[in-house]
Every structure is written in structure tokens, then in C-alpha cells.
Amino acid sequence: MLEVLKEHNLPYEELLLVASERSAGKQMDFDGKTYTIIGMEDAIREQPDVAIFSAGGSTSLEWAPKFAEAGITVIDNSSAWRMDPSKKLVVPEINANELTAEDKIIANPNCSTIQMVLTLAPLHRAYGIKRLVISTYQSFTGTGMKAVKQYNLEKKGFKPEKEEMAYHYPIFENVIPQCDVFLENDYTKEEMKLVNETRKILGDQSIRITATAVRVPVDGGHSESVNVEFEKPFEVAEVKKLLSETPGIAVLDDLNNFKYPMPLLSKNKDEVFVGRIRRDESVENGLNLWIVADNLRKGAATNAVQIAEYLLAHKLIGSSMLAG
């Protein structure tokens, strides 16, 4: 998030770096300055204009309301508030125009949802989506530092201790058909995020959606195979043109030269890459898409910073102080 803040040159007069009381007092260098990390209570007393949270659901449930009560706008990167009907779930290119100064807790969607809905939103407006069949190929980086450490140990030939493993099985040279915990319907939490968040962001509860989320040994970048069934007929050329004109999307679909989206190409980039755009010949008005993005950028940090940029540009928050 700090890297994206710097790259996007988000205007602010003062930056606060905030963590738990355990980390308060530690120092961190950023953009040529040394910052002393402060605790949550101190951050609230400083009255920042906006606070970008990325500290997990339980932390957000406890602290986001306290910041909001103090008049601070919270952009939250956890799953805590996403399905709360009173909170906006925002991908700026799609629905930031729904935000008002009264929205004090704003939810950042799930990483795999963001890249998909950014692609689907213009197509839904044009043709009306009836049904989605989604298969994801998600980087282990989406699980967090424990998964990164597990992968690196296995890559070096070491067998991690049980307490060092983020997954039930090795991730190096393996594919694990489980992202997050299993729910009562035998889908994982990640799969149901794709279902529920997509409907909320697109504002259409009638879309039929099914998903399979898979963890793959890729160091950064989520890939998705998305099969779409539309209400209306379409031309593939029209779809490509529509996507190429959509902010935040890069169409990479030159099969003659073997050019298509891959995690290697999306790493450290903010764009969502779309390719392998082709008609599904097995069903009327069907389309196949291959969607790839850096899950730590547009899937998390970039989207959060873009929300802050929108709030600033439309004077929904001030720019005197930012807490992260």
C-alpha cells in the first residue's frame, strides 16, 4: 500500500503508520523519511482524514467503528464489512459514484472478485449476465506471509514443520483445491465471496454464479477462467472493443503471436489483463474469458488507494492526514 501511495502520488500533508500496541514505537523508513509507528488509540486522537485498514477482519470489526465514530473515513481491506448491507463495497471504476461523505466505513472487495467484476461490469451493462461459472488459479501470496514462508522452504528442499505450514499439504509443485475454509454447502469461503460480492457490486441478485477456487504455486498473481452466459446476443469483436475501452483493463489477446495474460506479465502492475476471449459454442450467448491481475495490487492495495483518490477528488474527505 505504501508503494502504491508513492507511485500514485496521493496528496497528503501528514502520514501516520499505525499498528497494534505491540509494534508501537518501532521505526520504519518510507519515501526518504523515518516514521515512528503509533498505536490505534493514538491514531484516533490524531484525527486523520482517512485511514486505510489492512489488519484482518477481527481488528477491523473492533477498530473501524471507533475510527468512524471519530469522523474518520475508513477504507477496509478485510472481509469484515463487505456483505454488511449498510456498507458500500467499492471498485472505483464501477461504483465509486455511489459514495458520499456519510460513508465512514468503505469495504474493499476480495482480490479475486475485484479483477473479475472490473471485467464483467461493462459486459453486464451491455448484454446482461445470466450465469457465471468461475475457476480460479490463485497465488499462495493471497494467503499471507505464512504461506510465502512455507513455499520458500519447500522450494529450497526443506520440509516445513507442521506449525510452519499455511496449508494441509505442500504448495510447491502442487495444486490445492481449497481457498479458505469449507462452509456447510461444501463450497469454500473464497468461492462464496465470488458469488456474493459479485452480485452486490454489480447490483444484481439474479445472476446465477458457481465457483471453484484453487491455490497454485505461483509467486504473485491470480488467474481466472470465467464462463459467462448473457441474456442478449453479442459479437466477440464488440466484446474486445468494449473491454479495451474500459479504464483499468488491458486486453491481451493476440493468439497468432502467443500473447495472452499470465501472472508473470501482471506482476507489479495495476491493470487487469483479459485474453483468450472467445465464444462458448456449447451454449447460446456464451463467452469464455481468461482474467489475470496482481492480487496484491489491483486485488488489494491499488483498489484501496484508488478509493482514497476518488474521495479526495470529489472532496468527500480532506487531505491533511492519512493513516495506514
Q: Which amino acid is at 264?
A: L
Q: How many CB atoms lie within 10 A of CB 171?
A: 24
**Residue whose entry in the numeric block shows the C-alpha cell 496449508:** 167
Model confidence pLDDT, tens digit, residues 266-301: 999 999 999 999 999 999 999 999 999 999 999 999
Tell me, what's the pLDDT at 99? 98
Q: Is the pLDDT of residue 120 over 90?
A: yes
Query: How far is the C-alpha of 95 from the C-alpha of 140, rounded, in Å?
Result: 29
Q: Which amino acid is at 245?
A: E
**Residue whose entry in the numeric block shows the C-alpha cell 479495451:** 244
Tell me, what's the pLDDT at 311? 97
C-alpha cell at 226: 470465467
Q: Is the pLDDT of residue 58 over 90?
A: yes
Q: Is the pLDDT of residue 321 over 80?
A: no
Q: Predicted confidence band at 21 (pLDDT cuts at 50, 70, 90)?
A: confident
Active site residue 111: yes
Query: How far is the C-alpha of 265 from the C-alpha of 99, rounded, in Å?
Result: 32
Q: Predicted confidence band at 323 (pLDDT cuts at 50, 70, 90)?
A: confident
Instruction: Give yes or no for a contact between 227 and 129, defined as CB atoms under 8 angstroms apart.
Output: no
Q: To the nearest whole number, what is the mean pLDDT of the chain?
A: 96
- Per domain, the residue ranges of the chain are 2-81+300-323, 112-293
| pLDDT, mean of residues 313-323 | 86
Active site residue 179: no
Query: How far is the C-alpha of 54 from the C-alpha of 52, rounded, in Å?
Result: 7
Model confidence pLDDT, tens digit, residues 222-233: 999 999 999 999
Query: How far is the C-alpha of 132 from the C-alpha of 254, rounded, in Å?
Result: 24
Which of the residues 111, 168, 179, 314 is marked catalytic?
Answer: 111
pTM exceeds 0.75: yes
Q: From its phi and psi, is residue 318 left (phi > 0), alpha (psi between -120 and 50) or beta?
A: beta
**By mean pLDDT, which of 52-56, 91-95, 250-254 is the weakest?**
52-56
Which among 152, 134, 305, 160 has a CA at the least distance from the CA of 225? 134
Model confidence pLDDT, tens digit, residues 174-184: 999 999 999 99
Which of the residues 124, 168, 222, 314 is marked catalytic?
Answer: 222
Model confidence pLDDT, tens digit, residues 181-195: 999 999 999 999 999
| pLDDT, mean of residues 151-158 | 97
Q: What is the CATH number of domain 2-81+300-323?
A: 3.40.50.720
Q: What is the CATH number of domain 112-293?
A: 3.30.360.10
Torsion of CA 195, 290, 286, 183, to 10 degrees: -20
Which among 196, 223, 224 has a CA at the least distance from the CA of 209? 196
